[in-house]
């Protein structure tokens, strides 16, 4: 054994033995601190989520700054301004639509069954095709589809006025006229916004809901029900 090996051996003999109990205690203490910190962070996060859920209110996304004069299915002149103080769900539909409009009407009919007894609640279907949707035609469509309710308006009127209003005030997508025969047969003559809009008593749009989305439609409808119920149960 050379001199360096002898020195290393001597150093090893002078080192204190490893205290395994102390070592494991330290590891356990560190893990405990980490675990307690994680629990605190998770609890804080869950408490925050609970607070936000209890105090959640649908956001203000837009405002109907101007009024819309139209004609209801009973041929009476009305305006959206008459619904101030009411809470309503609005959709963009037309009577000759072979697909999406019927689905939207079905969702709206479900809302009417659930909330229709509340005098503050209204539904508003606004025609995509006012030139084709006369009050008489809309009234016949309503009775045929079984959605004849006094708190459900079906509005027609001047086509340019209505379409401009839906873009500028409701922030809906512009209407596009289909030219392909196959598309017209399956989807209808007009491609239009298939969302429903929730409007509060001060003419604020509080939500858009893609109820016709193939993947998220049911969840969007439940979100609409939740937000509508919140508005009806609050002064917001």
pLDDT tens for 122-180 read 999 999 999 999 999 999 999 999 889 999 999 999 999 999 999 999 999 999 998 88
Distance of CA 27 to the CA centre of its chain: 49
Residue 221 confidence (pLDDT) above 60 = yes
Q: Is 203 left (phi over 0), alpha (psi -120 to 50) or beta?
A: left
Place of tokens 């409808």: 221
pLDDT tens for 185-213 read 888 899 999 999 999 999 999 999 999 99
pLDDT score for 41: 58
Contacts of 59 (CB under 8 A, 6+ apart): 206, 207
Nearest to 100 by CA among 213, 209, 199: 213
pLDDT score for 231: 95
Does this model's pTM top 0.85? My answer is no
pLDDT score for 203: 97
In angstroms and rounded to an integer, the radius of gyration of the C-alpha atoms of the chain is: 31
pLDDT score for 207: 97
Nearest to 129 by CA among 79, 93, 154, 172: 93
pLDDT score for 45: 44
pLDDT tens for 50-107 read 444 455 888 999 999 999 999 999 999 999 999 999 999 999 999 999 888 999 999 9
Residue 74 buriedness (CB in 10 A; 0-12 / 13-18 / 19+): middle
Q: Looking at residue 175, what DSSP letter applies? A: P
Would you state the structure tokens that stand for residue 29, as one six-digit string?
């203490």
Give the H/E segment covering residue 154: strand 152-155
Nearest to 97 by CA among 118, 120, 127: 127
Q: How confident is the model at residue 37 (pLDDT cuts 50, 70, 90)?
A: confident
End-to-end CA distance of the chain: 89
């Amino acid at each position: 054994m050379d001199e360096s090996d002898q020195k290393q051996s001597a150093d090893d003999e002078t080192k204190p033995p490893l205290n395994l109990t102390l070592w494991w205690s330290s590891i356990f203490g560190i893990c405990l601190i980490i675990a307690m910190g994680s629990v605190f962070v998770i609890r804080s996060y869950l408490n925050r989520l609970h607070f936000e859920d209890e105090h959640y209110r649908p956001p203000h996304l837009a405002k109907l700054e101007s009024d819309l004069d139209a004609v209801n299915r009973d041929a009476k002149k009305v305006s959206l301004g008459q619904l101030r103080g009411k809470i309503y769900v609005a959709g963009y539909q037309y009577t000759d639509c072979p697909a999406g409009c019927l689905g939207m009407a079905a969702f709206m009919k479900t809302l009417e069954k659930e909330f229709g007894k509340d005098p503050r609640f209204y539904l508003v279907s606004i025609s995509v095709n006012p030139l084709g949707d006369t009050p008489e035609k809309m009234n016949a469509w309503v009775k045929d589809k079984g959605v004849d309710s006094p708190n459900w308006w079906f509005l027609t009127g001047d086509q340019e006025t209505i379409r401009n209003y839906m873009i500028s005030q409701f922030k809906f997508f512009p209407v596009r006229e289909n030219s392909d025969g196959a598309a017209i047969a399956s989807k209808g003559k007009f491609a239009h916004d298939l969302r429903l809009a929730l409007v509060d008593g001060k003419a604020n749009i509080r939500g858009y809901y893609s109820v016709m989305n193939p993947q998220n439609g049911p969840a969007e409808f439940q979100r609409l029900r939740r937000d509508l119920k919140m508005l009806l149960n609050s002064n917001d």
